[in-house]
Amino acid sequence: MRTRTKLSAAAVGLATTGALVLSSGGASGHGYTDLPVSRQKLCQNGTVTNCGSIQWEPQSVEGPKGFPASGPADGQICNAGLGQFGQLSAARTPSGGAWPTTRVTGGQNYTFRWQFTAMHATTDFKYYVTKPGWNQNHNLARSDLNLTPFFTVPYNGQRPPSTLSHSGRLPTGLSGHHVILAVWTIADTGNAFYACSDVTF
Task: Return the closest-CA partner of residue 128 out of 109, 150, 143.
Answer: 150
What's the closest the beta carbon of residue 55 comes to Cu ion, in angstroms?
18
If the CB atoms of residues 2 and 169 are measured against Cu ion, the closer one turns out to be 2
What is the total count of residues that contact Cu ion (CB under 5 A)?
2
Compute CA distances 88 → 16, 104, 156, 178, 194, whole Å: 33, 21, 29, 15, 10
If the CB atoms of residues 118 and 121 are measured against Cu ion, the closer one turns out to be 118
What's the closest the beta carbon of residue 5 comes to Cu ion, in angstroms?
12
**CA 185, CA 121: separation in Å to the nearest integer?**
9
Task: Return the closest-CA partner of residue 37 out of 111, 94, 96.
Answer: 111
**CA 201, CA 199: separation in Å to the nearest integer?**
6
* 30 binding Cu ion? (CB under 5 A): yes
> What string marks each residue from 59 to 98 as x (binds Cu ion by CB under 5 A) or -?
----------------------------------------
Q: Are 31 and 117 in contact (CB under 8 A)?
A: yes
User: What angle, rounded to 10 degrees, do the helices at 18-27 and 3-15 form?
Assistant: 170
If the CB atoms of residues 71 and 144 are measured against Cu ion, the closer one turns out to be 71
Type of residue numbered 123: T
CB nearest Cu ion: which residue? 30
What's the closest the beta carbon of residue 107 comes to Cu ion, in angstroms?
34
Q: According to CB under 5 A, which residues from 94 to 133 bind Cu ion? A: 118
If the CB atoms of residues 104 and 119 are measured against Cu ion, the closer one turns out to be 119
Among 10-18, 29-37, 45-53, 98-106, the segment contacting Cu ion (CB under 5 A): 29-37
**Which residues would be at the binding site for Cu ion (CB under 5 A)?**
30, 118
